[in-house]
Amino acid sequence: MNAGMPVGMMGWTLEQVAATRADPAAAQLPERDKALLLFVLNAVQDATSVVAADLDALRRLGWSDGDILDALVHGARMVAGDIIINAFKIERDF
């Protein structure tokens, strides 16, 4: 489902989506967007590693605290959904 978003909204190919999954730091995104993506990925993998400088860097790129919160909430929900799917052994048909 998430792969459909960049394909449908940004015109990416499935190969570009796969490449971004494999190496998010090389994502074909504006630097501002890539920085937010990398922040969210880092935070959901290890929230204790986030430091004030990470937030300051995003703010310097023009992201508001609300933007950062929204992105992190979305990322955390994606992880939570995956945990639920895995815990209940829900078959994925996509």
Q: Do residues 65 and 34 lie in contact, with contact meaning Cβ atoms separated by under 8 Å?
A: no
Q: Which residues, 6+ apart, have CB-to-CB distance to 46 below 8 Å?
A: none
Q: What is the CATH number of the domain that holds 30?
A: 1.20.1290.10
Range of the domain at 35: 25-94
* Domain assignment of residue 1, yes or no: no
Element (H, E) at 52: helix 52-60
How many domains does the chain contain in total? 1
* Domain assignment of residue 9, yes or no: no
* Domain assignment of residue 2, yes or no: no
* Domain assignment of residue 40, yes or no: yes
- Taking residues 80-93, what's their average pLDDT? 88
* Domain assignment of residue 44, yes or no: yes
Is 60 exceeded by the pLDDT of residue 20? yes
* Domain assignment of residue 10, yes or no: no
Over pLDDT 70: what percentage of the chain?
97
Side chain identity at 89, as an amino acid letter? K
Q: What is the pLDDT of residues 35-75, one digit of tens each?
A: 999 999 999 999 999 999 999 999 999 999 999 999 999 99
* Domain assignment of residue 5, yes or no: no
